[in-house]
Chain A
Amino acid sequence: GENVEQHPSTLSVQEGDSAVIKCTYSDSASNYFPWYKQELGKGPQLIIDIRSNVGEKKDQRIAVTLNKTAKHFSLHITETQPEDSAVYFCAAIFTGTASKLTFGTGTRLQVTL
Chain B
Amino acid sequence: DGGITQSPKYLFRKEGQNVTLSCEQNLNHDAMYWYRQDPGQGLRLIYYSQIVNDFQKGDIAEGYSVSREKKESFPLTVTSAQKNPTAFYLCASSMQSTGGQPQHFGDGTRLSIL
Q: How many residues of A contact B (CB 8 A)?
A: 25
0/1 string, A62-90, CB within 8 A of B gives 1: 00000000000000000000000000010
- Which residues of chain B are within 8 angstroms of A106 by Cβ–Cβ distance? 40-42
Least distance between A87 CB and chain B CB atoms (Å): 10
Is there contact, CB below 8 Å, between B50 and A45?
A: no
Contact of B104 among A31, A46, A103 (CB under 8 A): A46
**Which of A45, A49, A98 is the most central at the interface, judged by chain B CB atoms within 10 Å of its CB?**
A98
Residue B65, interface by CB 8 Å: no
**Contact indicator A42/B45 (Cβ below 8 Å):** no
What is the bound-complex CA distance between A4 and B43, given in angstroms? 11
Establish whether residues A104 and B42, one from each chain, have CB atoms under 8 Å apart when the complex forms. Answer: yes
Q: Which of B14-22, B78-86, B90-98 contacts A (4 or more CB under 8 A)?
A: B90-98
State in angstroms the CA–CA spacing of A103 and B42 once bound together.
6
A99 touches B90 (CB 8 A): no
Q: Which of B93-111 contact A (CB under 8 A)?
A: 94, 96-108
* Cβ-closest chain B residue relative to A34: B102
CB distance from B24 to the nearest CB of A (A): 14
Q: Determine whether the beta carbon of B43 is less than 8 Å from that of A49.
A: no
The minimal Cβ–Cβ distance linking B104 to chain A, given in whole angstroms, is 7
The answer to whether A98 and B98 touch (CB under 8 A), given A103-B42, A106-B42, is yes
Residue B48 interfacial (CB < 8 Å): yes
Q: Is B63 an interface residue (CB 8 A)?
A: no
**Known contacts A43-B108, A99-B31; is A93 also within 8 Å of B100 by CB?**
yes
Which B residues touch A45, using CB under 8 A?
Answer: 105
Q: Are A43 and B107 in contact (CB under 8 A)?
A: yes
Closest to B4 in A: A43
Which residues of A come within 8 Å of B, CB atoms?
Answer: 4, 6, 9, 31-32, 34, 36, 41-46, 49, 51, 89, 93, 98-101, 103-106
Q: Measuring CB to CB, which residues of chain B are less than 8 angstroms from any residue of chain A?
A: 4, 6, 31, 33, 40-45, 48, 50, 58, 90, 92, 94, 96-108
